[in-house]
Structure 1
Amino acid sequence: MVLSGGALITGQVVLARYAGSVQTKDLFGDQAAAQKVSDIKGPLNILLVGIDPRTDEQTPLSDSIIVVHVPAGLDQAFLFSIPRDLVVDIPPFAKTGFRGGRSKINAAMGYGSAVGNGKHDVAQGFELLAKTVERLTGIARFDAGAIINFGGFKKIVDAMGGVTMTIDQNVKSEHLQPNGKPRPRYSRCADNTCAHPYYGPQAEYKVGTYHLQGWQALDYVRQRYGLPKGDYDRQRHQQQFIKAMASQALSKDVVTNPVKLDKVLKAAGSALIFDGNGHDVVDWGFALKNIRSTDMTLIKLPGASLFDGGRYVGEGLDPSATDFFSAVTQDRLRTFLFEHPEYFNKNS
């Protein structure tokens, strides 16, 4: 989304008009230290977290965790996803009294979000998730971060008039009917016999290139059940979606259409909570203005399921991921990928 926002720039005056509509919060817990002192310079690491719309009384979960690495030249972007079920060490977090422990990484936001009286703050939860990802990857500190509301994705796509995507495998929707309405659910599941409590006709997405409506694009990239590689397939689809959105945002149909551009920028503003480390959306947009969708490289982290006595406990990364993370922190991803082509996401 940050990259897509950069792609939407047609001038500082235009973007500045909407900068105030983007909700900004201290996502890293160190706002006092995040003062704008210079221009944005690479290399950069950006943390993007996708969540479902939830009330402040519900524990937030990070369903999508994507790291964007931008090399020193600010001319390319490498996107890699952290598996939501990756088993990691989550550090202690004094603000909630969490003592730290080993768990699935998507729980970190929940452990960090409690603010008392049964309330939760997603920005505070992001802080612990960021610390967890930093510990995992060796990234000292993220340069920017954003929480992206999945419902906001739909609004952005609809404002652009849809998005053209290449679907690389046949997918059936767990959640929606062919007309986009929710599938009915069983009222009761005895003895945990219905792990997937939906029934009835399903929306289907066939292999090929299609122009998708907002609800279709969002539904497609949320699916993982029934896919050969489960969440790893979903990670690839989400990365492809971001790249397709950036391409669509750059199209003449959007940037030269004032009415449509106005709708897109407003939708993007309402979909984000952003922390630019002392820099606002305008600064970041111009820093990334030369990156196009063709400059985005989609990366997969190889991993496998972990079991304890036959019981599934989560996901683990291939040992080579240690070298991959070192390449990220040392800004030598190009060399690493040349030596490890298996890290490229196919159909990207």
Structure 2
Amino acid sequence: MLVLGRTAVAVASLLALAGTAAGWTMLDRFQDSVTSSEVLREIPDAPSADDAATDILLVGNDSRTDAQGNPLPLSVLKELRTESTNGLNTDTLILVRVPHNGSAPTAVSVPRDTLVQVPDSRPEKANAVYGLAKRTAADGLRADGITDSSRVERESALAGQRTLVRSVQQLTGVRIDHYAEVNLLGFYEVTEAIGGVDVCLNQATSDKDSGADFAAGEQTIAGGDALSFVRQRHGLPRGDLDRIVRQQVFMAALANKVLSTGTLTDPAKLEGLMAAARKSVVLDQEWDIVGFAQQMQGLASGGVHFVTLPVADVGARDDRGQSIVTVDPNEARRFVDGLASGPPGQRPAGIAPAGAMRLDGTAHRQTPTEDSPTPPEPGTAATDTPVVPDPPPRISSTGIPCVN
């Protein structure tokens, strides 16, 4: 299950609060009540922290528990359209690079089926790393005679988080400075709290697996419909890559709604956002949210660019016959390293973007300068590793990006 948008938007919601006098008070309250994790403490083999950017890993999971590990009631699971309790996937992985030089941040989506090397283990799909490590840790704790279910849940979740961080660091070559995790319940409640998000589809679509059932054209969606919109991948021309385009467009629209005057001046909506975040967000223990909001103020509105990690093959199979997305590790690291100078198109040419989108949903075009070489054509890169570009969405007459 994929629920992209809930993570970055949870952070964007916090940044938005910094624009109001009441916001600072609410940020303080949030800092005191949010669930924290020691996920980044003493990570072995971590890359150097001196990499010219602050790097934030945003994780969306399909956990059937709240941020404190309490199981969600069946009535809530029905509203979320996901009553299954098998496994735990983190189908949303976004690395946000905030350059130290003051350039705009870039949010890099990692496709869910990307094959990554798991430290001290075998390669796995990116979305399975957390859940597999958590299950292994839980089995080990129970084998050691630990029967306290709360302790097993807490310690196994930490093991899953840390394994995921190590895997992403190995894939990208950058050190994760901050970690934010949000579950299904958070996304559902955030979209409900702000009165829904406007989206546009190029054609009618339905999918029983995600619950998607949408007409063509513009519409406002929230709650379960919003989850279905960002989860659907079956029936889309490019499968998961088209789903990522949907997610990025939806994230931009949701962030803009959160940052709008109507939301920021509505105490009930602000309280709803904060309540959703308290129940569904996990942050690394060292993250000073108030300080981060001060640092980022002014960058949240229109400043974040969305791209997809360059991939080599979207139709490969691993040795177990699973469908996987392959990535050239050197190309991935080169691409991510270049983002420390700013988003594609705002830095010297030479790194092919896999697709870029501004926070307002418009496509970004890289423009060569007199001092820069001509940028590679979409779908190519200096290493000749194929890059699958995200096609810019069609913009409707009312300014809403229309997607598949």
- Superposed pair shares fold, TM > 0.5: yes
Residue 229 of structure 1, aligned match among 218, 231, 238: 238
Alignment of 1:94-133 (within 5 A): 100-113=121-134, 114-115=137-138, 116-117=141-142, 119-120=152-153, 121-133=156-168
Q: Percent identity?
A: 30
Q: Deviations over 1:20-41 (max 9, x none)?
A: 232111122439xxxxxxxxx9
1:150 aligns with 2:190: no
Alignment of 1:59-208 (within 5 A): 59-74=87-102, 76-92=104-120, 100-113=121-134, 114-115=137-138, 116-117=141-142, 119-120=152-153, 121-139=156-174, 141-167=175-201, 170-175=204-209, 203-208=212-217
Please name the residue that 1:16 is paired with. 28
1:209 aligns with 2:218: yes
Residue 26 of structure 1, aligned match among 29, 38, 57: 38
The aligned amino acid for 2:166 is: K
* Alpha-carbon shift at residue 67 of structure 1 (Å): 1.0
Please name the residue that 2:378 is paired with. none
CA distance in 1, matches of 2:102, 2:86: 38
Q: Deviations over 1:111-161 (max 9, x none)?
A: 32223228553332111011001000100x211111110221010111111
Q: With a CA cutoff of 8 Å and minimum separation of 6, indicate the structure with the bigger relative contact order.
A: 1
How many residues are aligned here? 305
The aligned amino acid for 1:48 is: L
Distance 1:5 1:209, change over 3 A: farther
Query: Alignment partner of 2:112: what SS?
Result: coil
* Alpha-carbon shift at residue 209 of structure 1 (Å): 3.2
**What's the RMSD between the two structures over aligned residues?**
2.9
**Does the Cα contact within 8 Å between 1:49 and 1:64 map onto a contact in 2?**
yes
CA distance in 2, matches of 1:102, 1:308: 9
Please name the residue that 1:190 is paired with. none
Using the size of structure 2 for normalisation, the TM-score is 0.67
The aligned amino acid for 1:145 is: Y
CA distance in 1, matches of 2:247, 2:119: 27
The aligned amino acid for 1:328 is: L
The aligned amino acid for 2:29 is: R
Query: Alignment partner of 1:28: what SS?
Result: coil
Moved more, 165-174 or 72-81: 165-174
Any gaps of 5 or more consecutive residues in structure 2? 1-9, 44-50, 70-84, 144-151, 357-389, 394-400
1:279 aligns with 2:287: yes
Please name the residue that 1:248 is paired with. 257
Residue 334 of structure 2, aligned match among 295, 301, 323: 323
Distance 1:233 1:275, change over 3 A: same
CA distance in 2, matches of 1:18, 1:308: 43
Residue 324 of structure 2, aligned match among 305, 314, 323: 314
CA distance in 2, matches of 1:337, 1:268: 38
CA distance in 2, matches of 1:54, 1:257: 30
The aligned amino acid for 1:229 is: R
Query: Alignment partner of 1:259: what SS?
Result: helix
